[in-house]
């Protein structure tokens, strides 16, 4: 999940400069082509700093993933929305944008590669378990709020969140690994799902079973 | 997509024996740990046959993916179902099984790794584009049939298929890359989506707008 404001500002310190270099190298080379050397090429300060701090590219990437997850968390549309339905739709639009510039598209593709490492690497697996738990809970909380407010039907919030998150992940994966762009179709059909499955009929909005 | 009857029989010939060895090695080592040598360890015949035929593990894996796609195509629940809704639900159950033995779970995890190669490798990308096109068309055909028969509402079959396929892919990806099992939740919520979004109300089943 997540197209976000990434590195638009100058980095604040060394750690942020390293993260920014990692982001750029990842966009340019993908996970498969990434090396500490190539991250160093994007790093304005002493490269020996990089070599001393990290025991290989995966150690650096895991720190990068934690750093990015915190940023993602901060950019998810929050409760400024009056209505749980508007809020949920804002999250879906945020998670499945269709106006990605090439850098962000490359970054999302690199994230699909990083996630695949979790199939065989326990540290990546822990990260993505935490990542998914966070986003699933966020989605479930919005659904739960909608139910409490009578805007949504009395569905299982966890189950609805699981399906929406899977559809988001699948669309991101397909976008990164095929020539067929289906992100807009998936987002629009998720909106139709919200309408038909979640939104409570008007005349029942006061007392939903 | 696909948990299928994979290699339950003895292989028919050399090609099938190679594919079977690749399947076993992939389940055991994943993509990251796979080498031609390790495929050779699972291969009962002359290993030099393997080395002569394939220019590295990716050439072999691409042939393996084509081979498996044909098998998957043959095992998707077909039109034996009376009703488009039953047919669609059978496909969803088939794509998101919850009773996977460890070998099949390992295989599905390896497929997530293979798909991630498509983020940077054109040959993998072509394969998965073809793969997704096939499954999306299959799903859309069932939705279209349901609309024609008045069982489903007049939705956009391509868009519905895109969302269902993304949810399936996302659930497979999460299953392979996290500790949290959400496959059953996703499948059940997809069924609820079919019910609320696709299935036509009874009283309108003759003349859906």
| A179 to chain B, closest Cα gap in Å | 6
- State the fold for domain B9-75: Arc Repressor Mutant, subunit A (1.10.10)
Q: What is the mean pLDDT of chain A?
A: 88
* pLDDT above 60 (res A3): no
CATH homologous superfamily, domain B76-203+205-209: Tetracycline Repressor, domain 2 (1.10.357.10)
Name the maximum alpha-carbon separation found in chain A.
67
Report DSSP state, residue A209. Answer: -
**Residues of chain B contacting residue A177, judged by C-beta atoms under 8 Å apart:** 115-116, 118-119, 124-125, 128
**Residues of chain B contacting residue A119, judged by C-beta atoms under 8 Å apart:** 30-32, 109-110, 112-113, 176-177
**Residues of chain A contacting residue B163, judged by C-beta atoms under 8 Å apart:** 167, 185-186, 189-190, 193
H or E element: which one contains A92? Answer: helix A84-95
| Selected residue of A163, A182, A190, A197 to mutate for chain B interface (largest B Cβ count, 10 A) | A163
Residue of A nearest to B127 (CA): A178
* pLDDT above 50 (res A133): yes
* pLDDT above 90 (res A77): no
Angstrom distance (rounded) from CA A201 to CA A195: 10
User: What CATH number has the domain spanning A10-75?
Assistant: 1.10.10.60
Choose the most confident range, by mean pLDDT, from A5-14, A75-84, A99-108, B187-196: B187-196
A83-94 as b/e: b if 16+ CB within 10 A: ebbebbbbbbeb
pLDDT for the residue numbered B112: 96
pLDDT for the residue numbered B2: 42
Residue B156 half-sphere exposure toward CB, CA atoms < 13 A: 11
pLDDT for the residue numbered A74: 86
Percent of chain A with pLDDT over 70: 89
pLDDT < 70 stretches in chain B: 1-12, 80, 203-209
CB B186 to CB A168 under 8 A? no
Residues 6+ apart with CB under 8 A from A110: A26, A27, A30, A31, B119
* pLDDT above 90 (res A198): yes
Residue of B nearest to A32 (CA): B120
CB A180 to CB B129 under 8 A? yes
**Residues of chain A contacting residue B113, judged by C-beta atoms under 8 Å apart:** 116, 119-120
Which of A100-104, A150-154, B137-141 is the least confident region?
A100-104
Tokens of A186: 């998936």
**Residues of chain A contacting residue B188, judged by C-beta atoms under 8 Å apart:** 159
CB A178 to CB B132 under 8 A? yes
Residue with tokens 């089943």: B205
Residues 6+ apart with CB under 8 A from B197: A192, A193, A196, A197, B153, B155, B160
User: For the residues A162-170, what does the mean pLDDT come to?
Assistant: 98
pLDDT for the residue numbered B56: 85
> Nearest Cα to A197, choosing from B186, B189, B196?
B196
pLDDT for the residue numbered A180: 83
* pLDDT above 90 (res A162): yes
pLDDT for the residue numbered A4: 42
User: For the residues A73-83, what does the mean pLDDT come to?
Assistant: 80
Angstrom distance (rounded) from CA B97 to CA A198: 25
Every domain of chain A and the residues it spans: 10-75, 76-209
The alpha carbon of B155 is separated from its chain's Cα centroid by a whole number of angstroms, namely 24
CATH classification for the domain delimited by A76-209, as one of 1.10.10.1100, 1.10.357.10, 2.60.40.10, 3.40.190.10: 1.10.357.10
């Amino acid at each position: 999940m997540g197209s976000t404001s990434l590195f638009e500002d100058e980095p604040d310190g060394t750690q942020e400069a390293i993260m920014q270099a990692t982001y750029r190298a990842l966009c340019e080379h993908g996970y498969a082509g990434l090396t500490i050397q190539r991250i160093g090429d994007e790093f304005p300060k002493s490269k020996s700093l990089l070599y001393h701090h990290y025991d290989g590219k995966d150690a650096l990437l895991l720190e990068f993933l934690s750093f990015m997850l915190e940023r993602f968390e901060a950019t998810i549309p929050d409760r400024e929305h009056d209505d749980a339905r508007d809020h949920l739709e804002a999250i879906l639009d945020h998670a499945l944008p269709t106006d990605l510039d090439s850098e962000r598209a490359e970054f999302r593709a690199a994230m699909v590669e990083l996630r695949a490492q979790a199939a065989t690497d326990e540290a990546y697996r822990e990260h993505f378990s935490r990542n998914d738990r966070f986003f699933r809970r966020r989605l479930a909380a919005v659904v739960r709020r909608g139910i409490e407010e009578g805007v949504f039907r009395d569905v299982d919030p966890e189950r609805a969140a699981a399906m929406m998150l899977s559809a988001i992940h699948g669309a991101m994966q397909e976008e990164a690994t095929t020539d067929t762009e289906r992100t807009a179709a998936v987002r629009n059909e998720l909106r139709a799902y919200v309408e038909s499955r979640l939104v409570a009929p008007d005349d029942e909005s006061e007392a939903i079973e």
